Structure 1
């Protein structure tokens, strides 16, 4: 029986995530804003303009409404945790075709150093991890970076230097609502499970 315990826990987690996406689970079972876990109530970020890797200007919520989205914050000059985040999304990207879904699933890397994260730098960063068409990158204006980082994290206070930025992944449903915050550098399987549950809702 002991060998089945992890499987039962995993199934319970999947059931709860799917129920969240359908709005059917009691809110007290969710993580509150600021911590990892399911976000309740779901949050819509204030809209802001981003410039993507092609140089095109895009509204954040327009990007998020293109499908269920896993979003990470990175900066192209980072040599510590950002390469690990690139590998993480690269591995998740490989799993996307296996996710059965009503909604498309996409990955979005948001550059948080607008002075360096130019479209050409974002393109080079994506190319380094062999990003396909379902993985894009974009950067907000300098004046919007802190506000966006705080909204993603659920923090009410400034987050400090970008070198100490979060390695969480933020999952949005197809209506651009933030539904889940991961722990730092989440496991690929956990992230794929959440994306799959949201995509099937």
Structure 2
């Protein structure tokens, strides 16, 4: 049922790239050590497990596209209370510049977009960041400059499995539809 619902989400969003839409089979990211906005060390799969998660990659020093991503998650956050869910729904902004995306910078990022308790931020270690970005994107080529990072949103089920990759800068409705579909399973 969830696969049908996920597949029905705005086919227009998937028309431009081959690695978009439903991830079949679902993928579990290798666990990575992260530091969250409070300075606490966490494991990625610990953050994802038992929650339905929309994840985006950002870097807090970005002044161009990342603020649009923050505004996107802010709009999704407003709609989370309307999602009927068996598991909590959360948003996770992952900083991809471990040298600059400190807990203080992550905290300021969340405050800038009035993040509520269901929106978290964390940064992987320098050794884990590229591996994590490659797995999220589903691509094999080397990653470029962080300024060229993806603006996709990645949705995970409550088993910490990557189930959906969006188009670049997806629509709020698409993200909420996928979160809703995952939340009902």
TM-score (norm 2): 0.92
Residue in structure 1 matched with residue 125 of structure 2 by the alignment: 141
Residue in structure 2 matched with residue 57 of structure 1 by the alignment: 41
Matched residue SS, 2:39: coil
Residue 174 of structure 1: CA displacement?
0.3
Q: Which of 157, 161, 164 does residue 180 from structure 1 map onto?
A: 164
Q: What 5-or-longer segments of structure 1 have no aligned partner?
A: 1-13, 21-29
Query: How far apart are the structure 2 equivalents of 1:34 and 1:166?
Result: 14
Kindly indicate whether structure 1 or structure 2 has the higher relative contact order, using CA contacts under 8 Å at least 6 residues apart.
2
Q: How do 1:93-172 residues align onto structure 2 when only pairs under 5 Å count? A: 93-172=77-156
TM-score (norm 1): 0.85
Residue in structure 1 matched with residue 5 of structure 2 by the alignment: 17
- Give RMSD over aligned pairs: 2.1
Query: How far apart are the structure 2 equivalents of 1:185 and 1:136?
Result: 19
Range with greater deviation from structure 2 (176-185 or 157-166) = 157-166
Query: How far apart are the structure 2 equivalents of 1:15 and 1:176?
Result: 16
Larger radius of gyration: 1
Residue 17 of structure 1: CA displacement?
2.7
Matched residue SS, 2:31: coil
Query: How far apart are the structure 1 equivalents of 2:155 and 2:92?
Result: 10
Residue in structure 2 matched with residue 8 of structure 1 by the alignment: none
